[in-house]
């Protein structure tokens, strides 16, 4: 693919995806870079959800971009560019997993009743940089959530990421995964429940360590009580 930088200074960040795609078809490197930046996070999350490996997920994303930008003629504009390229990433990741191990059919993990509900733990963001302690706490919370997501069955992980993390609609998620909207609701409900169970299990193991009162604190309390008892005599 022959690339070319735009000579004039243009703020491509303000361009719509379809305008950027048009420039990318002409080999516009600037437009390609903007499209990559816009889609990096979603594609990595989707790839990471399937592969459960950061390095392989990065490989998937890179391969996705190569396939997409070398075959832009196949993008007809029937769907959003982000939807189209997300599907490529999903297929690429699933293909790698299937080569690595047998994968259960998607429908095997369905449950009978469709339902909605459940709450997802959300962490507030701030415009001001967090302090070291706050950043550490956020990192630990993120690690806890990532571990819980990794434990979800593959089909539930994908629905959870697309719906609750990427905030795709039920219809968009269903189209991405080639399943019915009712199935999306079912899997999301099950994923949220499994997530809550996994998080509660991890947190409960630390309850015994909350508010420790041992060591020198315990000894000091004993000394203080004995001292007061002596004063009562």
- Three-class SS of residue 28? strand
Q: Is the model more confident about 24 or about 140?
A: 24
Going by C-beta distance under 8 Å and a sequence separation of 6 or more, which residues neighbour residue 193?
A: 118
Residue 113 pLDDT = 30
CB count in 10 Å sphere of residue 127:
4
% of the chain beyond a pLDDT of 70: 73
Region 87-108 average pLDDT: 72
Q: CB of 157 within 8 A of CB of 149?
A: yes
Q: What is the CATH topology of the domain spanning 1-103?
A: Rna Polymerase Sigma Factor; Chain: A (1.10.1740)
Residue 210 pLDDT = 56
Q: Is the pLDDT of residue 165 over 80?
A: yes
Residue 127 pLDDT = 41
Domain boundaries, the chain: 1-103, 108-233
Q: How confident is the model at residue 28 (pLDDT cuts 50, 70, 90)?
A: confident
Q: Is the model more confident about 10 or about 90?
A: 90
The domain 108-233: what is its CATH number? 1.10.10.10
Please name the residue ranges forming H helices in 106-169: 132-151, 154-160
Separation of alpha carbons 223 and 202, rounded Å: 36
Q: Name the token pair of 215.
A: 């060591």
Q: How confident is the model at residue 22 (pLDDT cuts 50, 70, 90)?
A: very high
Region 104-109 average pLDDT: 39
| Same fold flag, 1-103 and 108-233 | no
Tell me phi and psi for residue 112, to 5 degrees.
-65, -50
């Amino acid at each position: 693919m022959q690339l070319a930088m735009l000579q004039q200074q243009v703020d491509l960040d303000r361009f719509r995806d379809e305008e950027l795609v048009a420039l990318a078809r002409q080999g516009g490197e600037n437009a390609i870079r903007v499209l990559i930046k816009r889609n990096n996070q979603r594609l990595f999350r989707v790839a990471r959800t399937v592969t459960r490996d950061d390095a392989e997920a990065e490989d998937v994303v890179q391969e996705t971009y190569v396939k997409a930008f070398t075959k832009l003629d196949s993008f007809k504009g029937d769907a959003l560019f982000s939807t189209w390229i997300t599907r490529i990433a999903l297929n690429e990741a699933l293909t790698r997993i299937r080569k690595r191990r047998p994968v259960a059919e998607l429908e095997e993990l369905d449950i009978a009743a469709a339902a909605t509900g459940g709450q997802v733990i959300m962490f507030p963001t701030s415009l001001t940089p967090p302090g070291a302690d706050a950043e550490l706490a956020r990192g630990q919370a993120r690690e806890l959530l990532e571990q819980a997501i990794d434990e979800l069955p593959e089909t539930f992980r994908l629905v959870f990421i697309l719906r609750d993390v990427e905030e795709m609609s039920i219809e968009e998620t269903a189209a991405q995964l080639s399943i019915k909207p009712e199935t999306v609701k079912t899997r999301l409900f099950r994923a949220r429940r499994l997530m809550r169970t996994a998080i509660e299990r991890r947190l409960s193991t630390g309850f015994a360590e909350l508010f420790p009162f041992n060591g020198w604190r315990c000894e000091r309390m004993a000394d203080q009580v004995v001292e007061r008892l002596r004063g009562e005599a």
